[in-house]
Amino acid sequence: MGFPAEQQSHDAAHAEALGNDVRALRKSKNLTLNELALRVGRSVGFISQVERGLSSPSIDDLRSIASALGVPTSWFFMSDDVDPRERGVIVRAGGRRSLGTRESGIVEELLSPDLGGAFEMFRSEFQPGAEMMTPILRETEEAGYVVSGRLDLWIEDEMFELNAGDTFRFDHKPYRWRNPGEEPTVLIWTVSPPVY
């Protein structure tokens, strides 16, 4: 006996979204299909099928893929409570996926519905004293809005003191940051093209 058409449609949508996320993360890490397959210990064909939504990985495979891509396994879990009309369009406040921990100094929540498209949006929370002092250079255009707190932002060698309400934008330039305050800093960050 087969599964109801609605369940099959849901499973197919989930497999496609998972595949899109795996592909976007792999490309953001500048990995080829072959390199990811080697890291995961599976064939290139299997990884290709996962990325195209034609195969659903086991939880063990998903753990291996997440580890190889440097994200927690939970990154790939989509909420079953999402209205099918909203999937890929709307992200509810309680349904965001997050990376990082407060202990690591930064927690980022994906505000975009998925990792496809021309840009991605994150809500970043920098803990007091957290810093990234090794310059980051990505082939991206980036912009941000400081929701609350303070942030020191270096773009190339120029340092800017940002406060709640301030915005910034830079294109293909090295940057680094530090939260000099005693409270968390919340930032809405937009990156194009997507890097996660």
The answer to whether the CB of 195 falls within 8 A of the CB of 120 is: yes
- Domain of 188: which CATH number? 2.60.120.10
**pLDDT for residue 7:** 42
Domain of residue 159: give its range.
Answer: 93-192
Rg (CA), the chain: 18
If asked whether residues 110 and 170 sit together in one domain, one would say yes
**pLDDT for residue 35:** 96
Is residue 88 included in any domain, yes or no? no
pTM equals 0.68
Give every CB contact of residue 176 below 8 A, 6+ residues apart in sequence.
Answer: 131, 132, 133, 134, 135, 136, 153, 154
Give the CA count within 13 Å in the CB-facing half-sphere of 82: 23
Query: What's the structural domain count of the chain?
Result: 2
Q: Where are the beta strands (DSSP E) in the chain?
A: 97-101, 106-110, 120-126, 131-136, 141-148, 150-155, 158-163, 167-171, 175-178, 185-192
If asked whether residues 104 and 18 sit together in one domain, one would say no
Beta bridge mates, 177: 132, 153
If asked whether residues 68 and 102 sit together in one domain, one would say no
Query: How many other C-beta atoms are found inside a 10 Å radius of the C-beta of residue 84?
Result: 10
pLDDT values of the chain reduced to their tens digit, one per residue, 196 residues: 444 455 455 467 667 878 888 998 898 888 999 999 999 999 999 999 999 988 878 777 888 998 999 887 767 765 556 777 887 788 888 878 776 667 778 888 889 887 777 898 999 999 999 999 999 898 899 999 999 999 999 999 999 999 999 999 999 999 999 999 999 999 999 999 877 6
- Domain of 63: which CATH number? 1.10.260.40
If asked whether residues 68 and 107 sit together in one domain, one would say no
If asked whether residues 48 and 101 sit together in one domain, one would say no
If asked whether residues 42 and 121 sit together in one domain, one would say no
**pLDDT for residue 9:** 55
